[in-house]
Chains A and B, each alone.
Chain A
Amino acid sequence: MNGEMEILEKVKKAFGEKAETAPKWERQSEIKVPLELLHPLLGYLRAQGFGHLAMISCVDWIEEGEFELVYHLWSYEKRLHLLVKTRIDRENPTVETIIPIFRIAETYERELHEMFGIDFPGNPNLTPLFLEDWDGSPPMRRDFDTRKYVEEKYGMIDLTKELWKREEPVLEGENGED
């Protein structure tokens, strides 16, 4: 627990009040920074021993018109996980690539580019990863409706009405007699 508070205080000292730090769970803390401080902060943390970038997540807060990028860092020596969070505008999402800091970020940025439509200037390989000939809006955004897309693209056969149609019972002959 001591090492945890130590690194959070160091970050506070180096980056001032703009970096909001808070311990979150056991061996897990979060740091919220504005976008302009993201790259210096990641470089600083890498130098402090946070060498393992577990992944880069994106959460679509559509109500607030923002994407939240979460960089998951882990330090093998300090045994501490950091959630480095930054918010970007949903309309024009652009973040400078972090490949110079973490080389492994290339594929994660490639996926975010494809699934959320975030642009990463500086990433040389933003080609499609999972999808092929995709023409719709980025599919992991909250406003992308999978069912609607399937209905429009492929069409859907709705059997519910036929299967659950109630018919009046037909009686053969009068009063049900032969």
Chain B
Amino acid sequence: MERIEHFEYFIGPQHPGVTGNMSYHLWARGDEIVKIVSSVGYLHRGFEKLMEYRFWIQNVPMVPRICVPEPDVNEILYAMGVERLAGLEVPERAQYIRVLVLELARLSAYLFYFAGVAGALGLYTIPQWAIGDRDYILDLFEELTGGRVYHIFITPGGVRRDLPPGFKEKVRKVLKHLKDRLSDYDRLYFDNALFIKRTKGVAVMTKEYALEMGVTGPNLRATGFRYDVRRGDPYLVYPKLEFDIPVTGGGDNYSRVMQRRLEFEESIRIIEQVLDMMPEGPVITKLPNPFRWKIEKNDVYVRVESSKGEFGYYVVSDGSEKPRRIHVRGPSYTHGIQVAQEMAVGLRIADVPVFLFSMDVCPPDIER
């Protein structure tokens, strides 16, 4: 009789374990994973190639599509890259509005993340709450930019329009609501015995391993390495703002979730300061005629801290009206392919979706 060595399982391409279309092929012996191979390609849209065919300003509506849960980092990166190459100055008020948008986007991405991890654990009340609370932030975005998910708001030179009247008060109300809700989340979720039991000590990543494998962002800080692009390679007005870089340090699923929970509070703190410190003034500089806008031959790498890790753009201009090459570094590129393939070995089957969600693997930014 033939002996069965292991069972094969497939996660994806459509599965709650991954926020997008991507699949993992698992080999399991009993309940233990012995091999995992990631398979991408379901979402490849060829944005990098398409950008080479378009004028500099025409790419603005396309870049946010690169990352679905947090599109604004792509807008700011594209804008920062073009501004550096073209030597554009951004008005100070626009910089504050940009930080406001980025931090609101971070809050909404973290709420999405909390919902994802809880859903993978089977705690279905939390996704309902978190997605509901995220909707308040999307409402703010809708009023500010006209779009709920893709905002196409940050353009080279500034932002598209000023804050509508009474907007600051609405933001303050939403922030107060989120702060009040955090204690509810603590009781239901972060102090939940089931959550702690399922996540503590699972998929432990050491600091050395994380640094070697290019792990960035909250996943790196969860291993105990204190580094944040907003402090390490600062952009916009972050040097003027006061905030801490929390570090948890366990490196397991639990610390990765708690890391985000701590950073959630810091983002609220940043937004409160931005609302108080925002100066008056113009929000966009005058741009040249988009059809004749040529940018000198040069290249630059820009990076920001996204909710998933270091997001970077390498923008190359050859002196013409169109970009020569734009290369996108998505944080999930390393987290979702090589790191996941090595870290998931030895986990139980039910822990794999929790692990993938705790790493915040986001297929759209792997594939562009």
**Which residues on A are within 8 Å of B, measured CB to CB?**
24-25, 27-28, 51-55, 57-60, 70, 72, 74, 76, 79, 81, 83, 102-104, 106-107, 128-132, 139-140, 142, 144, 146
| Per-position 1/0 for B26-48, Cβ under 8 A of A | 00000000000000110010101
User: Which residues of the partner chain A approach B324 to less than 8 Å between Cβ atoms?
Assistant: 59
Q: Which A residues touch B65, using CB under 8 A? A: none
A139 to B50 Cα, complex, angstroms = 11
Task: Name the contact of B338 in the complex, choosing from A24, A52, A107, A139 (C-beta under 8 A).
Answer: A107
Q: Is the CB of A107 within 8 A of B334?
A: yes
| B35 CB to nearest A CB, Å | 14
B213-A146 in contact (CB<8A): no
10 contacting pairs across A/B (C-beta < 8 A): A28-B300, A52-B211, A54-B310, A54-B312, A57-B327, A70-B299, A70-B314, A103-B212, A130-B40, A130-B367
- Distance A142 CA – B84 CA, assembled complex (angstroms): 25
Q: Counting CB contacts under 8 A, is B55 at the interface?
A: no
Q: Which of B40, B300, B338 contacts A106 (CB 8 A)?
A: B338
Q: Return chain A residues, CB-CB under 8 Å to B213.
A: 103-104
A139 to B334, CA, bound (A): 22
Q: From A70, A81, A139, give the contact of B233 (CB < 8 A).
A: A81
Q: Does B334 lie within 8 Å of A104, measured CB to CB?
A: yes
**Nearest CB in chain A: distance from B51 CB, A:** 11
Chain A residues with CB below 8 A from B299, complex form: 59, 70, 83
B45 to chain A, nearest CB (A): 10
Residues of chain A contacted by B225 (CB below 8 angstroms): 76
From A56, which residue of chain B is reached at the shortest CB distance?
A: B327
CB pair A27–B233 under 8 Å, yes or no, is yes
The answer to whether the Cβ of B325 comes within 8 Å of any Cβ in the partner chain is: yes
Q: Which residue of B has the minimal Cβ distance to A24? A: B300
Closest to B298 in A: A24
Distance in angstroms from A155 CB to nearest chain B CB is 19
- Which of B44, B211, B314 is within 8 Å of A57, CB to CB? B314
Establish whether residues A76 and B227, one from each chain, have CB atoms under 8 Å apart when the complex forms: yes
**Would A54 and B48 count as touching, CB distance under 8 A?**
no
B43's closest neighbor in chain A, by CB?
Answer: A130
Mask: chain B, 294-324; 1 = CB below 8 Å from A; 0 = not: 0000011101000000101010100000001
Q: Which residue of chain A lies nearest to B233 when distances are taken between CB atoms in the complex?
A: A27
Q: Would you call B327 and A131 a contact (CB within 8 A)?
A: no
